Structure 1
Amino acid sequence: MISRLATAALTAIAYSTLASAEPVQYCPISDICYQVAVPDASSSSNSGNIYLQLRAPTSYSWVAFGTGSAMADSNIFMMYTDGKGNVTISPRAGVGHIMPQYNAITQLTLLEGSGVTNDGKTMIANVRCGNCGSWSGGSMSLAASSADWIAAWKTGAAVDSTDKNAGIHYHDEHEQWAFDLTQGTVSDDSNPFVGVRQFDNNNRGVAGSGSFADPRTLIRGHGVIMAVTFGILYPLGSALMPLLGKWIIHASWQFLAFLLMWAGFGLGLVSSQRIKINFNSTHTKLGVVVVSLMGIQPILGMLHHRYFVKHQTRGLISHAHIWYGRSVIIMGIVNGGLGLKLATAANKYIIAYSVVAGVVFVTYIASALFGEFRRHQRKAGGWEKNSP
């Protein structure tokens, strides 16, 4: 388990280091994702090729994304199945809230890695666009730090057509966001999606060889580390003190949990930036508060230990360390549930998390009561003034 957590932590470091050498990605919902990559040469000259990827389950009739903040005057790229085991990528011009019209001027080329994969469950379009810096309705800087994009999708029967002007039904939902294209700069003017592992909506690998290409891998690593840290390690580490009475064991255990917490926080920070959640959810906001508050706990623990060694009894700082720690751990456990909700996790994972957290919490309460009982027994017997 520790080796897996260490690997996940190192992955976060690698991602932050290589962030400017990979496509940027946004997943407006859990099973639809869009990526953009801009070669160095195109970014420098503000002209030339850019690379796009659209990925979605085949349960969607079509998915699309395009430039700008609204359909009107947008340069739109639409993907649907062609009925022959591949996908059709259709360049279209947005003209308002009506079906986008086929735009033959946009130079789109379907690249290697495109098609229907994962036993027919996933469709992927890897696309090169030769003139996406400008179009009849507007233009876009290929070196923009905040370029507006839109997306829309429709569930239902497959289009199954090679016609780039095929008729489509009105979208179910739509989304708008901004990409920092400077973070999507790649060195080579070639398909950046070849040899990269893709994921379906159940997070199962469907193609390629890279193991950390999708930010949902980072999200899973973040979730596992934080669940283990706040749901198991911190509560059990707290229980070690009243059960064993050995401060060095308690401190060492909690320090390990402390390090893992920051590794998990790093994974969460990187993945939230890559899918553009940032600090726009209760889970991410509360997560920052929890880890920040927990950063004070080792200092309180040290002050408590020094006070007890000197006075052989608990003081105000001792109770602050104990109750402050308990409060932050509870906040962390609650935030884990919010994280599962944000990730739209399956009910079985939510139930498993709740059961484990509940069992550990009951164990911790029992150990705390046992510790208090033993401390009062020792005090009554005159063995020592008190115990930590």
Structure 2
Amino acid sequence: MHFPFVLPKMHFAGFLTRLPLALLAVSLCGLTQQHAAWAQDSPDPMADGGSSADQDSPDPMGDSGSGSSADQDSPDPMGDSGSSAGQDSPDPMGANIPSAVYTTSALTAGSSNSSNDFVFAVNIDSETDDVYFHMSSPSGNDWMGVGFGSKMMDSLMLIAYPSSNGTGMTLSPRLGKGHTEPEHTDEVSCEMIYNSDLPGANTVVESTDTLKVDAVCRNATSWSTGKLDYKSSSQDAMTPFIFAVGPGEHGHAGPGSGHLGLKSNSKSAGLERHEYYGHFNLDLSQAVSESTSKAGVPRPNSEDANDLYTSVHAGGNGKVTSDGDPAPIIHGFIMCLTFVIIFPLGALILRLLERVILHAAVQFIGMILVTAATAGGIVVSRLYVRSKDFATAHQILGILLFIALWFQLGLGILHHRIFKKQQRKTLMGKIHRYLGPVAVLIGIINAPIGFHLAGNSHLGIPYAIIVVVVAILMLLARRFLPRFFGRNRRRKQASADARAAQLRAEQGEGYQYPQFGQQSTGLAPNTHTGYGGPSAASYEHLGPPPAYGRTESYRSEDVPLQTYGGEAGVQHPRPTL
């Protein structure tokens, strides 16, 4: 150890007087060396811009602000924009952040877990027009969303759903175009906020089955089609909002019901139609922060529990409407029924029964069903962003199939009319024979493509099983039923022959042509006919019939012909013999 000074040469008395000062200097140097050693082994408490009094305290800078903390348990006075000294310490500014909160338990009626109610809490920074918010809903639904305004048209919507890993959340700002799927917009930029006193922020919380989002949307009080007029909001003139949750295990809502759920990192991910939706109002004048330092995500405000929200500065009747979209289900069911069962059954009827009219009737019924399902599919396609342009493989194949099936029907009718009159095969008949099976096969393949488009890819496996079973049954019927119908035809023919024989036996042989065989007159058989009996020479003595021997005219050629429908002419008596 090196000392910063050297004891001077002195008398013993002087040495005694300076000895306490020397000992004090040695002690200070030792403490300095020990402090330097501690600094090498411990993290720099100022690395993030703050200060700390002990080794175990977390980063005092929190999320985005600046500040300092004296110990681990001290609260963060800045809320979101400030700093946090410990993960377990609540933010004392959370309760002081101005906010308006709406909650409803209508989505989970009958549930004892109030932590997964739908919640929307908002705070607005008047300096920057940034919108801070907390939103949560039951995780059984695919997505959750809030819209600024009283209707979907021109509304700015904040929609959140699980990310691709199933544990995080994706936040997507979108614009409403009417009663259709909203489209992602880049007009508004949103950022998720993580803070120690926001437990489970921006995650799928399995313990409470809840989706949670804590975020800020920059300059989000105005957009191209509207604005959030928070400055004129009041208790008597609250600002309207809409909200909705997507389909899921809680309900019966359309194509998404019971499927694997939406998980995506894309802000343009396709959404299924909402299962529940509703309206509420907020007094935003109570949710405005005058400065950025006092703005942030509203913290739980319940007096009963630290992690729950209760409605404040909110209004509305609390009515939540159950909704769904059965049209995709109806479209898919009818198409699968027609291509897998009805069309193959119609072809089988023609092969086994040879009943052309019955075959045509069954196929025509199938065409009516396909036409109705196609019309429904076109209407549904216009409701979703991914299908409104009719550019997907399922839609292109479907339209081509629809045209081909009507062409197939026309070919069948024309061929039947020609064959019925001329009893000959036609080119139209050959095309009809092969176009039908090809169209049915493409229709069967197009169904799983439609399942994927609708977000129901899991239906492909049971559908494939049904198709295989039906195909096996059709092949067995094609193989063995002709024998059965052939035996029936032989039985019917034998029965008809037996009845005819019995009828002849009961009524006799009927009219008998004259028999000119050997007669008692002793005349020889005719040499030309082979029959016995009188020959033509036997009647020569009788002469010709009277008409053949007459030489005079009957004078009937002078009688005028009477035109049908005209006036009667002069009547002449008919000649008599």
TM-score (norm 2): 0.36
Q: 2:218 aligns with which of 74, 77, 93?
A: 93
Q: 1:283 aligns with which of 385, 388, 394?
A: 394
Counterpart-to-counterpart distance in 1, 2:243 and 2:184 = 29
The one-letter amino acid paired with 1:194 is: G
Q: Which residue of 1 aligns with 2:380?
A: 271
Q: Which residue of 1 aligns with 2:425?
A: 314
Q: Which residue of 1 aligns with 2:336?
A: 227
- Tell me, yes or no, if structure 1 residue 238 matches structure 2 residue 331: no
- Tell me, yes or no, if structure 1 residue 298 matches structure 2 residue 448: no
Shift of 1:369: 6.5
Shift of 1:61: 4.0
Counterpart-to-counterpart distance in 2, 1:251 and 1:70 = 49
Shift of 1:315: 2.7
Shift of 1:270: 1.7
Q: Give the number of the structure whose residues are more often helix, by fraction.
A: 1
Secondary structure in structure 1 of the residue aligned to 2:409: helix
Q: Which has the larger radius of gyration?
A: 2
Counterpart-to-counterpart distance in 1, 2:184 and 2:246 = 29
Q: Contact 2:341–2:470 (CA<8 Å) still a contact in 1?
A: yes
The one-letter amino acid paired with 1:219 is: P
Q: 2:448 aligns with which of 321, 337, 343?
A: 337
Shift of 1:239: 1.0
Q: Which residue of 2 aligns with 1:194?
A: 278
Counterpart-to-counterpart distance in 1, 2:246 and 2:442 = 43
- Tell me, yes or no, if structure 1 residue 252 matches structure 2 residue 361: yes
Secondary structure in structure 2 of the residue aligned to 1:265: helix
The one-letter amino acid paired with 1:93 is: R
Q: Indicate how the Cα distance of structure 1 residues 224 and 118 shifts in structure 2: closer, same or farther if over 3 A, else same.
A: closer
Q: Give the number of the structure whose residues are more often strand, by fraction.
A: 1
Counterpart-to-counterpart distance in 2, 1:61 and 1:110 = 29
Q: Percent identity?
A: 21
The one-letter amino acid paired with 2:352 is: L
Q: Which residue of 2 aligns with 1:173?
A: 266
Q: Indicate how the Cα distance of structure 1 residues 193 and 117 shifts in structure 2: closer, same or farther if over 3 A, else same.
A: closer
The one-letter amino acid paired with 1:316 is: L
Deviations 1:341-386 (A, max 9, x none): 3334354x32322232233334445556679999999xxxxx9xxx
Spell out the pairing of 1:33-48 with structure 2 (5 A cutoff): none
Q: Which residue of 2 aligns with 1:65?
A: 172
Q: Indicate how the Cα distance of structure 1 residues 53 and 218 shifts in structure 2: closer, same or farther if over 3 A, else same.
A: farther
Shift of 1:194: 3.1
Q: Contact 1:235–1:360 (CA<8 Å) still a contact in 2?
A: no
Q: Contact 1:73–1:94 (CA<8 Å) still a contact in 2?
A: no
Counterpart-to-counterpart distance in 2, 1:344 and 1:116 = 13
The one-letter amino acid paired with 1:361 is: A
The one-letter amino acid paired with 1:355 is: I
The one-letter amino acid paired with 1:307 is: I
Counterpart-to-counterpart distance in 2, 1:315 and 1:119 = 56
Counterpart-to-counterpart distance in 2, 1:76 and 1:106 = 19
Q: Contact 1:231–1:360 (CA<8 Å) still a contact in 2?
A: yes
Q: Which residue of 2 aligns with 1:147?
A: none
Q: Indicate how the Cα distance of structure 1 residues 262 and 77 shifts in structure 2: closer, same or farther if over 3 A, else same.
A: farther
Q: Contact 1:72–1:94 (CA<8 Å) still a contact in 2?
A: no
Secondary structure in structure 2 of the residue aligned to 1:314: coil
Q: Which residue of 2 aligns with 1:353?
A: 463
Structure 2, unaligned runs of 5 or more: 1-140, 176-182, 193-200, 221-226, 231-237, 252-261, 271-275, 280-318, 488-492, 494-577
Secondary structure in structure 1 of the residue aligned to 2:278: coil
Counterpart-to-counterpart distance in 1, 2:204 and 2:229 = 20
Counterpart-to-counterpart distance in 2, 1:373 and 1:272 = 47
Secondary structure in structure 1 of the residue aligned to 2:425: coil
Shift of 1:260: 0.7
Counterpart-to-counterpart distance in 2, 1:232 and 1:307 = 29
Counterpart-to-counterpart distance in 2, 1:300 and 1:367 = 26
Q: Indicate how the Cα distance of structure 1 residues 319 and 214 shifts in structure 2: closer, same or farther if over 3 A, else same.
A: same
Secondary structure in structure 2 of the residue aligned to 1:64: strand
Counterpart-to-counterpart distance in 2, 1:117 and 1:276 = 17
Q: Contact 1:242–1:371 (CA<8 Å) still a contact in 2?
A: no
Counterpart-to-counterpart distance in 2, 1:268 and 1:119 = 25
- The number of aligned residues is 259
Task: Tell me: higher relative CO, structure 1 or 2? Use CA pairs within 8 A at least 6 residues apart.
Answer: 1
